[in-house]
Structure 1
Amino acid sequence: MCEPATLALAAAAVTAAGQGYAALQSAAASRYEARVADRNAKLENEAAFRASENTKTEALAHYRRVAQLKGEQRVAQAANGVSLDFGSAADVAADTDLLAREDAKRIYDQGAEAVRGFDISAANYRSSAKASRFAAKGAIVKGAFDMASTALNAASQYSKMKAS
């Protein structure tokens, strides 16, 4: 059978090895979380780009509908013998332009808000990834200190047992 001092050293070695393994596992989990957060940030950036492109497409479709409406208004006014350059016809055209600009602004504002939301989410994911990378480094450092503490405690106990 082993003497108590040898058993104490063996127990300390096993404990230190377990602490080291736990530190490595914790660091690996944190690095995985960082990779997931980085991927999510990339997906949010792609979504922001798509939202921006969709906004442009929607605005273009709006401008086409407005052009069609203005054409229909002119045809109807001309068919009724109304002069298009002044009076009610000019007011209708001006009102149509005003409402079209307001609608276009709303389309762009909503698109910008959607992009902003995706940008904020992407920034949050990047921050999360950075924090996870720091956590991975912290887990390794903590594991090293835990292992050193265990080794020092074991050495202290061993010296006390040898002295007795």
Structure 2
Amino acid sequence: MPIAAALTIASTAVTAAGQLQAGAYASRMARYQGQIAERNKQLERESAMDAIVQGQDQQRQLGREVAGRIGAQEARMAGNNVDITRGSAARVLDDTRMIGREDSLALSDNIRRQVESMQISAWNYESEKQARAAEARQAKTASYFGAGSTVLGGATQYASFRAKNGTGR
């Protein structure tokens, strides 16, 4: 076998092997990145659950603070012999309750937005994980087609070489 033919076969084999190796590496990297996305999704979900628990604690604390303010107002007014069931005293207590409810609603909205943001991030990580899995499959498939194309190209060159040198059968 002439040296040119041997080099064509060797070059074809090395190139095809390199394409398969590159595809395997790209596939492993995509799977690894998918695992990272899965872990990030889990962390976001855990953070969302923590935010809910912390929000509930903050709501309870706010309720206690408002109740404490109302109790202090009632005690001061009653200590000054003010009737807290009517007039300005009743309006002050009602206003304190109203402000407490508004603060509670604002806190709930902030917690809800924070949890929704974390849930969206978790969903995005799930999408990324799925995309990485598809990327891993595609990398392998592409490497098979690339290696196959290289082998066919090398075989064509070898056949052409043999035909030019009169050794084809």
Q: Give the TM-score range, shorter chain.
A: over 0.9
Q: What is aligned with 2:157?
A: 157
Shift of 1:2: 4.9
What amino acid maps onto 2:110 in structure 1? Q
Shift of 1:76: 0.9
Partners in 2 of 1:160 and 1:2 — Cα distance? 13
Partners in 1 of 2:83 and 2:3 — Cα distance? 113
Q: What is aligned with 1:75?
A: 75
Which string of whole-angstrom CA distances, capped at 9 and with x for unpartnered residues, describes residues 8-67 of structure 1? Answer: 112101110111011000100110110011111111111111111111110100000111
Partners in 2 of 1:159 and 1:48 — Cα distance? 64
Q: TM-score, normalised by structure 1?
A: 0.95
Partners in 1 of 2:133 and 2:117 — Cα distance? 24
Is residue 64 of structure 1 aligned with residue 85 of structure 2? no
Q: For 1:82-93, what aligned pairs fall within 5 Å after superposition?
A: 82-93=82-93
Is residue 18 of structure 1 aligned with residue 1 of structure 2? no
Shift of 1:93: 1.4
Q: For 1:1-164, what aligned pairs fall within 5 Å after superposition?
A: 2-164=2-164
Gaps of at least 5 residues in structure 2 are 165-169
Q: Report percent identity of matched pairs.
A: 36
Partners in 2 of 1:91 and 1:4 — Cα distance? 101
Q: TM-score, normalised by structure 2?
A: 0.93
Shift of 1:103: 0.3
Shift of 1:161: 1.1
What amino acid maps onto 1:18 in structure 2? G
SS at match of 2:133: helix
Partners in 2 of 1:55 and 1:162 — Cα distance? 79
What amino acid maps onto 2:19 in structure 1? Q
Deviation larger for 149-158 or 83-92 = 83-92
Gaps of at least 5 residues in structure 1 are none
**How many equivalent pairs are there?**
164
Partners in 1 of 2:2 and 2:34 — Cα distance? 46
What amino acid maps onto 2:82 in structure 1? V
